[in-house]
Structure 1
Amino acid sequence: MIDGVRGKPVGGLRGRAREVAILRGVLAGESGTWCVAVTGEPGIGKSRLLTELGKLADAEGRTVLSARAAEFESHLPFGVFVNAIDDQLAELGPARLAALGPQQLALLATMFPALPAAGPPDLVDAERYRLHRAVRALLELLAEPSGLVLVFDDLHWADEGSVELLDHLLRHPPQARLVLALAGRPRQTSLRLWHALSRAAADGVAELLELAPLSQADAGHLMPERLGRSRREELYQASGGNPFYLEALVRAGERGIAVGDAALHPDGALPVTVHAVLAAELAALTPQERVVAHAAAVVGDDFEAASLAETAAVDASSVLAALDRLAERDLVRLDGATGRFRYRHPLVRSIAYQDSGPGWRLQAHGRAASALRSRGAPPAEFARHVERSAVRGDLEAVAALTEAAEATMHTTPTTAGHFLRAAIRLLPDAESATPQRLILLGRLAHALGATGDLRQARETMHEVLRLLPAELTGIRAQTARACATVEQILGRYTEARAMLHSEWKRVEGVDPHSAAVLLVALVAGESVAREHGQDRVAEAIAAAREVGDPMLLATALSAATLIDRRADRLDEAAALIDALPDSDLVRDIDAAFWLSWSEISADRLTAASRHMSRGLHLARASRQSHKIALLTAIRGMVHAYLGELTAAATCFEDSLESAELTGSEELRVMALTFGCWITTWRGDLTEAIRLGKEAIAVDDHATAMSSWRSGQAEAMLAQAMLHSGDPHACIELLLTHGGGAELPAVGLRTRPLVYLMLTEAEIAAGRVAAATAWADRAQDAAGQLELPLRTAMAQQARAIATLPTDPAAAASHAIAAAATFGRIGVAVEAGRAHLLAATAFGGIGAIDQARAHLASARALFTRCDADLFLPQVAREERRLNARGPRPESGAERFDLTAREVEIVNLVSDGLTNRDVGLRLHLSAKTVEVHLGRVYTKVGVSGRTALAGVWAAAARD
């Protein structure tokens, strides 16, 4: 690799035959592996191996894009992605980029300077997975047609935004001919990235390569032939087989520096001798050349002459002369493609940076910041220099860092948090700075929450409360409420209650509105923590009513409903929210959340969907990111109840992405639980069981369980097990986690569902008497609640239990369940009840009634994409056909598909194409295409004629 004199690469890649063979296999796509990660100590040859991969890919005609993270730029958002891809975007051209669509292009413009900004992005930090998905789509585009190899080096210095994005890509690989090649030092690389790589390796899609030192024989090829055997031995032992160290030691010999042992320099990165050799290269420069070398280390990983002149405070001609000298000595190298320079190795840059004096560095960073800002650089780019040059009390620097934090908050909140901490450190100690300190601490708490560091967010909020003057009662109340929410997410219900109670007592009788805010928050928290709280319900409602705040009153009424289930309170809360304009409701979206959650608990699902959608729309419009993730998860649950499984699956995926980004166990368990439910009904039982087990694993080590998820994860997993043919595992799981037959560990509202599943499982296991006992318990549990969904579950349990012995009675119970499910819009369960009724009618020979209910079941399952149950419908149809003649339906007469039948039924009911599309989640154009095919098959030319033919077919 080196000749010992000029330091230039020579010869091939020595000692890495096994690794190169693995790289060839990854390029060939062997065994589904698309990612390779190379690890090892500094100088071991990671970069050289990645270069070899790039050459192999280039020889195959693939596009190769590469970048490396830099030690002193670790807070530049998405640094490696921008450096690797940005220049390539200009080559794509507007026409190809347009294939991504305006929404994805707008998101990508927040990341890549080469893309023109299209106004403020519709992006908040809790939904930054949308940007990740846009990048994935961009990579798929870049990979066309010849394939793409993306090479990222030195990822131990990668910014958190790049790490999050890599994590996303490893969990959701682009559907393209893409190879991702990474390199970094294992002990310094982000734990998040290593966890992602380890998971990918376990899944068989990533290859992890740890580079060992070269053997003495291979290292011998890297030394000048003129060296004697003993000198070679000495150099090899001193280098430890590290190629970079060996290069430096050969240079040391050329300069007469003695070779020492491998003891580390005090900075911990390099052996003493290697450090001395690299420092000697800088010492050999003239004073002005050293200044330019120091400025190059300050400016960035790559640099050009103009920026060096400004940073070094040296004229341009002197800089160019110095660059010639630095290039001649192989300290820096020119990238012919970009016209920019960079140090030959990051370790050389690091030593050059350390070699400059601290006072000079301070001024140089200040000059670099000024130069970048004058050229209109992004705030994060000049802020990294500001934080290294500013002193305490520099309010201009505080403003610059705050600007950078706000610019990065919604894409890389970790970076935003870093800049906010730097800004807070620069604030003067004077009391006059307290208001600004409070603002910055509040934003820091937001950034910490967005990154999942909830404990630190909690500490920051407590610091805000400590600094807030007692007389600012309104701000203190809102801060305490936000802090209590974080405490509850962390499972610290006692602490949340104590803090709210203390703040409430502080303002009681002093500030009625703040007291009402805190008292309502107490009641809401008690409803979440499964504590009764009836003693404060009336007081909270009265306090909210007295201060005349409709949003606060709606929250109090809704939270109270979760405790005492009074429907009149929910009616009043809904009326209050519906009467509010968006401009008012946006100030307290919690009111919409509590109303929606209470409506779900009261089985008012259509109303809940409407209010949840409104709250989510306002949260997005006002960029209240901390609200969006939870609202999305609960909206998905409503979609699932209503049988809108495709929309529910989208919400599940979004919620799980948010949970991954924020680290919220609460949100993760919720997403996994309802993902298990949705996936079961869609027919992928293997995936459903995996999701359910993961939900329980998270729940088991969580610090607390809130009421909504008490027993839910176990119930959804048990349901998947039951439908996969294992009723015994279903029963064992439900009773073990439920605490026995009384289900004391299961929430009251969840018990009818669990008893329904136990009934179903016992029948599947052939134990009718046990099933009847569980059906009795389902009826008792539903009777305590007097809620329609739970009543229908009990009716369904009774139908299942009586089917083997009294199918006529079973049919009656199933019809009642279907009617109740249908009335509240729970479509899939209504379909199951119709299927059960069909089975019961078939058992008593009522073939026509059986077929009618089967048709209803099939239509509902098809509309909902509930593929799990369609084979059951088909089996029951075969049974009925074996018992008697089967009339030809309109669908069979005209050879219509299931989707066409759905559309014809809705058109016959008078719905427009747009209305049909909204009902079936199709575009109006798609409905029009389907109708065209139907007209051809039926032999009509319009909607009226079609409706007439269809009605006649139904009568026949």
Structure 2
Amino acid sequence: MESVATPLVGRESERSVLSSFLAAPQGQALVLKGETGVGKSALLEQLAQQATGAGFRLVRAVGVEAESDLPFAGLHQLLFPLLPHAVQLDSMRRAAFDVVFGRSGEKAPSVMALGIAVLDLVMVAASYGRLLLMLDDGQWLDPASAEVCGFVGRRLAGNGAKLVVALRPEKSSGFDAAALPVLPVPPLSEDAAAQLLDARHPRVDPHVRRVTLDQAQGNPLALVELPPYLAAQVPPAAPAGSSGHGLVPLPDRFRQVYGARLAALGPALRAELLRGALDGVHAGAVAGPVRAVRYRMRDVDEAVAAQVLDLDAVTGEFVFRHPLVRSTVVRLATPSERRSAHGVLAQVHREDIERRATHLAGATVDPDEEVAAALEEAAASATRRGGAAAAVTWLTRAAELSPGPADRARRLGDAAFVAGFAGRLDQARRLADTDGLTGGAGRPAAVVAFAYGALYQDGDVRSSHRQVVAAIEGIRDSGAAGPSPELTRLVNLLMAVSQFAGDRESWRRTHQLLASLGDLVPTESRIYQDAWCDVVRRGAGVAERVAKAFAVFPSLDPWDVTRLGVAAYHVDTLNHYRTHLVRSVERELRTGAVGTAMTMLHLIVLDQIASGEWDAAERTGQQVLELTQAHGHVLFVHQSQAYLGLLAALRGDLDRARELRAVVDRWARPRGIGFLVQVADAVATTAALSDGDYETAYLHALGITAPESFEPCAHQAPRTLLDLVEAALHTGRVEIARRHARAAQAAGLPQVSPRLALTTIGALAMTAEDDDEALELFRRAEAHPAAADFPFESARIRLAHGIRLRHGPGPRGARPVLGEAAETFERLGAKGWAGRALAELRACGGAAPSAATNVAALTWQERRIADLAASGLTNKEIGERTHLSPRTVSSHLYRVFPKLGVTSRAALRDALAASPERA
């Protein structure tokens, strides 16, 4: 931030852009980006004056380096003046503010949930008059706050609020990835620089003037601050360039300038300034309260006279003239002076867990359990509020200050665990590689950290499995009396490794080891064990156990939400919990559980594919692919590509599907990552079916499971039921198809999940010898409660039903069935299947579904909601299935009724039944 006293010279272009920004009727965001001292704050000050004159309500905040690790410190500063409007928000939005601002012990909301709450608050405040949110020194905003502000800034269009942020380009910030419009602020032109220098220092020595212009390079702060310093350093008669200082970087030169001023002050005054600097006292004016009461500097008039401090005309408090003054104060202090200042500040903030712990850590040199415990408590507080980065920092410092090796190892292990789940795999490895984790009580934590890296970065399931097994056996053989966080982490990691390995031997050893642990394995881990390994043989009842575990969602850690989501995927109930995933998925991608967010996004992709939202699945898949690539999670990169390949195969984009399948297979198969090899085989099977190449489809399906069996520990084996049956039927292997369908029923697949119940009935219908039996089974499948939740499978069963009718007892009756199958395939974008259904429809004398019909006028979402409403579900029940609120469902039906010319649900049911596609 630059001194607000600097007059605004030049800047015609920038001022024009800012005037247009302010005058625009719609809300928007803008980033001012320029080097230290270039005049960003002067532009903000003029914008503030212009906004105030135009009737805007102005809310200002300043990023502070001392608070850059405190979760949501910047957001609180920015929002505090608006919080009275929160009473107009619903309880869920208000609860989000209570959590992140430390007034509630609930789990932190996701960035998306908090961002929506902040956006709602801003919109409510803007409804009382136009609002300008102004943030200076945004590069010092804590990452959690920057993430939310970026989220809000992208969504301000359509209301009366605007956001402007000033950043330095040399310092990375959470706004870098926000994709907000940027206004560069370059140095002043030569003429403007000379004009500013002459205005501020009209009687400066000509030689000093030349040196100043040369060294300032158009930087306004340098033009204002350098002349007095250079006048004391350079003899008036010295030739240009002979000062002996040369062209040093401006930030260093500013520190020389401010250091000279500080050196002239007494030790007591410098100590007072140091306490203010370490506590984050602002540089420059900022209206409104801040997150916490900061240290108030007293008896500092001499520092004002020395142009080190200014007096804030709004608050009446002393503030630093510039952030570089503040950093210079800290840099010039001795370690002993800094520790003393931290000790005073720890007492000032004795009621603030996180601030007190921060200052205690700075004041302490020798091991101290009380301070270590305070830091551990602060880390727990930060984790609850979504600040994983701060938690890792504080846990690491707590380990350094731990007197005993066991506590040191435990805290380092906790830091490594949080870092690993935050997607900071290199940091987790470094933490695990410290002395405290190389053996003894710390060994399990080291294994967790190293295994995360080996699995997610290298795809090394074999050595990861061996290491984790050995660590668990060590804890078991040491006579552990009960469950522990270290053991639970190892157990859950072992199952994740086994799931990705996807082979019998890995799971056999895992089951054997977990059986030997008995009650040491938590209930949730037993759910994962049964769902992840072999859902055909162990999956009965898992759906109910998952539902019971999800019932306490607000109190679940993000990694537990993820693991339960994976369990729900295996039993095909993921659609019940997508709202939980969406609420958690963006949970502090920069400071929170990035690795967990990747898995959540994968689960959302799978649920979007299953529910027929294929365009959304493509967007989510690309998002998670970019995220995994950016963080170097090679395993997840290939998992993302596998799911995108499966989606491409479903849509008939065969070249892309086969290309992605080849990439995944080449990487996963040599490493023994059976989970991805199975998905790759599923991509090949689906692509061949979409292309009508049934022989190739059959051969790829055999790579997943043999007929009449469902390969243990192969998660795709039950999912490929329809694929294998359909491919076998079309290649003349009728008896093989029939036996495989019956094997599915005998294995109890209908009791495992609603999708498997639907596909088992469909497979039995496809392979039934008797026409009457087949038609009855087809009707059962099409009326199954899961049919609406899995539209692609339902359409495949209808297509088989129509083909059976066309070639058998009811050619006329085939038309509506085939018409509905064709319409669903077209709606989904399944080109290959849609073409096949249309060909069958034309073969029996039917016409392709008309886009002019009333039903065809419905959007995909409207049609799905209409079908569910016609089946008798309430708005609440429809909302639960479609992840919408009852009010949104009602709005959709409000648009559906006039499109179909109906006024009631009974009439809706009749209209859908009488539509041409069902005639």
Q: TM-score, normalised by structure 2?
A: 0.74
Residue matched to 1:555: none
Residue matched to 1:626: 559
Residue matched to 2:30: 35
Residue matched to 2:645: 717
Q: Structure 1, residues 638-682: CA drift from partner, whole Å, max 9, x if none?
A: 69x5694x9648736743656665575686377258527726965
Q: How does 1:610-689 map to 2 (within 5 A)?
A: 610-617=544-551, 620-621=554-555, 623-632=556-565, 635=568, 637=569, 644=575, 648=578, 651=581, 654-655=584-585, 662=592, 664=594, 668=598, 671-672=601-602, 675=605, 678=608, 682=612, 685=615, 688-689=617-618
Structure 1 residue 108 displacement after superposition: 1.0
Q: Structure 1, residues 357-404: CA drift from partner, whole Å, max 9, x if none?
A: 65444333322221232xx3x222233332332231444433433332
Residue matched to 2:815: 850
Instruction: Give ranges in structure 1 of 5+ residues lacking alignment.
Output: 553-586, 764-769, 803-808
Letter aligned with residue 701 of structure 2: A
Q: How does 1:508-527 map to 2 (within 5 A)?
A: 511=479, 524=495, 527=498
Q: How does 1:589-604 map to 2 (within 5 A)?
A: 589-598=524-533
Tell whether 2:64 aligns with 1:64: no
- Measure, in 2, the Cα distance between the counterparts of 1:385 and 1:369: 5
Mapped contact 1:140–1:176 kept (Cα < 8 A): yes
Q: Number of paired residues?
A: 841
Residue matched to 2:10: 15
Tell whether 2:376 aligns with 1:391: no
- Measure, in 1, the Cα distance between the counterparts of 2:208 and 2:500: 73
Structure 1 residue 925 displacement after superposition: 8.2
Tell whether 2:121 aligns with 1:138: yes
Structure 1 residue 206 displacement after superposition: 2.1
Tell whether 2:198 aligns with 1:209: no
Shift in CA distance, 361/542, structure 1 to aligned 2, threshold 3 Å = closer
Shift in CA distance, 810/103, structure 1 to aligned 2, threshold 3 Å = closer
Mapped contact 2:454–2:460 kept (Cα < 8 A): yes
SS in 2 for 1:611: helix
Letter aligned with residue 461 of structure 2: Y
Residue matched to 1:758: 687
Mapped contact 1:297–1:353 kept (Cα < 8 A): yes
SS in 1 for 2:100: coil
Shift in CA distance, 545/799, structure 1 to aligned 2, threshold 3 Å = closer
Mapped contact 2:311–2:319 kept (Cα < 8 A): yes
Mapped contact 2:76–2:101 kept (Cα < 8 A): yes
Q: Structure 1, residues 73-112: CA drift from partner, whole Å, max 9, x if none?
A: 43333333222321332xxx3xx41333222212212334
SS in 1 for 2:171: coil
Tell whether 2:96 aligns with 1:107: yes
Structure 1 residue 415 displacement after superposition: 1.6
Residue matched to 2:714: none
- Measure, in 2, the Cα distance between the counterparts of 1:343 and 1:446: 39
Shift in CA distance, 401/326, structure 1 to aligned 2, threshold 3 Å = same
Shift in CA distance, 105/354, structure 1 to aligned 2, threshold 3 Å = same
SS in 2 for 1:76: coil
Mapped contact 1:333–1:343 kept (Cα < 8 A): yes
Mapped contact 1:789–1:824 kept (Cα < 8 A): no
Shift in CA distance, 879/111, structure 1 to aligned 2, threshold 3 Å = same
Residue matched to 1:150: 133
- Measure, in 2, the Cα distance between the counterparts of 1:589 and 1:514: 15
- Measure, in 1, the Cα distance between the counterparts of 2:500 and 2:904: 61
Mapped contact 2:562–2:600 kept (Cα < 8 A): no
Shift in CA distance, 880/326, structure 1 to aligned 2, threshold 3 Å = farther
Residue matched to 2:792: 829
Tell whether 2:328 aligns with 1:351: yes
Instruction: Give ranges in structure 2 of 5+ residues lacking alignment.
Output: 711-716, 733-762, 768-773
Letter aligned with residue 815 of structure 2: A
Residue matched to 2:355: 381
Residue matched to 1:563: none
Q: Structure 1, residues 771-820: CA drift from partner, whole Å, max 9, x if none?
A: 44434543675535535431212334567889xxxxxx999579889977
Mapped contact 1:810–1:837 kept (Cα < 8 A): no
Letter aligned with residue 753 of structure 1: A
Residue matched to 2:144: 161
- Measure, in 2, the Cα distance between the counterparts of 1:451 and 1:928: 39
Structure 1 residue 299 displacement after superposition: 4.2
Shift in CA distance, 874/49, structure 1 to aligned 2, threshold 3 Å = farther
Shift in CA distance, 615/354, structure 1 to aligned 2, threshold 3 Å = same
Tell whether 2:375 aligns with 1:401: yes
Q: How does 1:313-462 map to 2 (within 5 A)?
A: 322-327=299-304, 330-355=307-332, 358-373=335-350, 376=351, 378-410=352-384, 411-428=386-403, 433-461=404-432
SS in 2 for 1:105: helix
Out of 500, 506, 525, the position equivalent to 2:468 is 500
Residue matched to 2:165: 182
Shift in CA distance, 745/299, structure 1 to aligned 2, threshold 3 Å = closer
Mapped contact 2:71–2:143 kept (Cα < 8 A): yes
SS in 1 for 2:501: coil
In angstroms, what is the RMSD of aligned CA positions? 5.7
SS in 2 for 1:347: helix
Structure 1 residue 207 displacement after superposition: 1.6
Q: Structure 1, residues 603-628: CA drift from partner, whole Å, max 9, x if none?
A: 95x9554333434445753x534333
SS in 2 for 1:77: coil
Q: Structure 1, residues 231-259: CA drift from partner, whole Å, max 9, x if none?
A: 53233113232211221223347778758
Structure 1 residue 436 displacement after superposition: 3.0
Residue matched to 1:488: 455
Residue matched to 1:86: 80
Residue matched to 1:48: 42
SS in 2 for 1:783: coil
- Measure, in 1, the Cα distance between the counterparts of 2:581 and 2:358: 37
Range that drifts further, 251-260 or 181-190? 251-260
Structure 1 residue 38 displacement after superposition: 0.8
Q: TM-score, normalised by structure 1?
A: 0.71
Shift in CA distance, 262/255, structure 1 to aligned 2, threshold 3 Å = closer
SS in 2 for 1:221: helix
Shift in CA distance, 50/915, structure 1 to aligned 2, threshold 3 Å = closer
- Measure, in 1, the Cα distance between the counterparts of 2:893 and 2:30: 46
Shift in CA distance, 323/467, structure 1 to aligned 2, threshold 3 Å = same
Letter aligned with residue 528 of structure 2: F
Q: Structure 1, residues 434-472: CA drift from partner, whole Å, max 9, x if none?
A: 3432342233234323432233324435659747757xx
- Measure, in 2, the Cα distance between the counterparts of 1:186 and 1:499: 44
- Measure, in 1, the Cα distance between the counterparts of 2:333 and 2:489: 55
SS in 2 for 1:66: strand
- Measure, in 1, the Cα distance between the counterparts of 2:421 and 2:375: 19
Which has the bigger relative contact order, CA under 8 A and spacing at least 6? Answer: 2
Letter aligned with residue 222 of structure 1: L
Shift in CA distance, 927/112, structure 1 to aligned 2, threshold 3 Å = closer
Letter aligned with residue 717 of structure 1: G
Structure 1 residue 342 displacement after superposition: 0.8
Range that drifts further, 59-68 or 250-259? 250-259
